[in-house]
A and B are shown apart, each in its own frame.
Chain A
Amino acid sequence: MTDQPPRPRGTRARPRAQDPTKNPTAQHTPSKGSTKIMANSETALKDAMTSIEGVIGVALVDYTSGMALGTLGGGKDLDLSVAAAGNTDVVRAKARTMEMLGLKDEIEDILITLSGQYHLIRLLRGRGKSGLFLYLALDRGRANLAMARHQLKSIEADLEV
């Protein structure tokens, strides 16, 4: 946070004008926008973890650099940072192939089916989000794939604000 003294409890959601005389317009800003300042992507990942049935882990990944901007879940059996970096190669290979084929279409999602899991990669589109994908690992026994794809779509929409 930008201010030095510890802030009182309960003020986090409200926009804090650092200096009201210098920044008077900050006063009449709806508070809804600023509740999401801190952790927009974190919220989206949490939504995915809690709302999608059978989810093992989820990550938001920049596919040019292979960097995971955020991860949630995973654990010992699935290192999401490693999965994020590795799956950028999957996305890159597919994007490259499409370019070679001259396909003008865009990738919406990529599904990888293991015997025990589904791995779902959803490429994000829209302002400022190109170059990112959401990566979702699901327990095949508990997950509803159609439902998960649908929910992932709405989580992407939430990320836009």
Chain B
Amino acid sequence: MSAADGHSPMLFRLAEQRATGVLLRDTGALYLADGEVVHAESPAAPGIEVLLTAGGRLSPETWQEAVAAAGAACATGRWLIEHRRLAAGELEISRLGALYDAAYFVLLPAAGPTRFRHGVRHWFGSLGGVPVARVEYETRRRRLLLDSLWPHPRLDAAPVTVARAALRPAAWPPFVPRRQAAVLDLADGVRTPSAIAALLGRPAFHALLDVRRLAALGLVETPRGGTRAPARAPAWFQNIGDDPDAALLRRLRVALERL
């Protein structure tokens, strides 16, 4: 389990043991081979197949062909290169992009308990791993970057709602970059940043950045409550058991039961 700074002792221990298997958390899974991260997936991050096919780089048919031919042998990535569907450099770049993107969500401090299953391999196949320390560093950097833009982590998972003020064109800043405008166009009060990213075929983290920037500009609604944890009950309520009034109520109940 992660401490507040995102440091995961279990992950580092697995790295030291050069473990192979899958690390499972509520937000996704991290695949290790020989103690290095070779793959990551999360429901919050578009998978590599979405990133490759949404951009038109690979047809869905080609992707399915690759999975059918080499998925069982855990060598889908290798198949794509060997059959000249993708250049090695290109695949490496999209693979790393998808890995860090999903790892960000898997390693969120609030991602719940961690389990590890030894020996599990991913069907995509590993084309070289990334050291655990490197993944941890990048995840932490991303968290700090988001907070430096607009410190409201609730925006990351909440439906993106266009701010009422932004519906009046006069309220718009003189210029919204094309990439952010595309995110704003898809904000319908239902889709989360991850859903918007999947529609655009972009990594989820890119959408998180754009949503925070748009919220900072006042174009996207910032969920109320911000970064604060749910408010604690007032002290009188926490000590209610010791309160003389509660004692009175108990006596009353006893009296009523005797009637």
Give the nearest-CB partner of B58 in chain A.
A128
- The answer for the CA separation of A15 and B205 in the assembled complex, in Å, is 34
Report A-chain residues with C-beta under 8 Å of the C-beta of B125: 2
Residue count of chain A within 8 Å CB distance of chain B:
40
B165 interface residue (CB < 8 Å to A)? no
- The answer for the CA separation of A34 and B121 in the assembled complex, in Å, is 21
Give the nearest-CB partner of A69 in chain B.
B96
Report B-chain residues with C-beta under 8 Å of the C-beta of A26: 75, 78-79, 82
B126 interface residue (CB < 8 Å to A)? yes
Asked if A65 and B90 make an inter-chain contact with CB atoms under 8 angstroms apart, the answer reads: no
Asked if B178 and A99 make an inter-chain contact with CB atoms under 8 angstroms apart, the answer reads: yes
Chain B at the A interface: SS class: helix
Contact with A along B175-213 (1 / 0, CB 8 A): 101110000000000000000000000110110010000
Asked if A128 and B93 make an inter-chain contact with CB atoms under 8 angstroms apart, the answer reads: yes
Select the stretch in B22-30, B137-145, B215-223 that faces chain A. Answer: B137-145
- The answer for the CA separation of A2 and B179 in the assembled complex, in Å, is 37
Asked if B127 and A132 make an inter-chain contact with CB atoms under 8 angstroms apart, the answer reads: no
Report A-chain residues with C-beta under 8 Å of the C-beta of B228: none
Asked if B145 and A66 make an inter-chain contact with CB atoms under 8 angstroms apart, the answer reads: yes
The minimal Cβ–Cβ distance linking B130 to chain A, given in whole angstroms, is 10
Asked if A161 and B82 make an inter-chain contact with CB atoms under 8 angstroms apart, the answer reads: no
Report A-chain residues with C-beta under 8 Å of the C-beta of B178: 99
Supposing A39-B128, A161-B89 touch, asked if A99 and B177 sit within 8 A by C-beta, the answer is yes
Please give me the 10 A-B residue pairs with the lowest Cβ-Cβ distance, nearest first: A128-B90, A18-B73, A40-B89, A161-B87, A29-B82, A36-B88, A2-B125, A159-B89, A40-B88, A38-B128
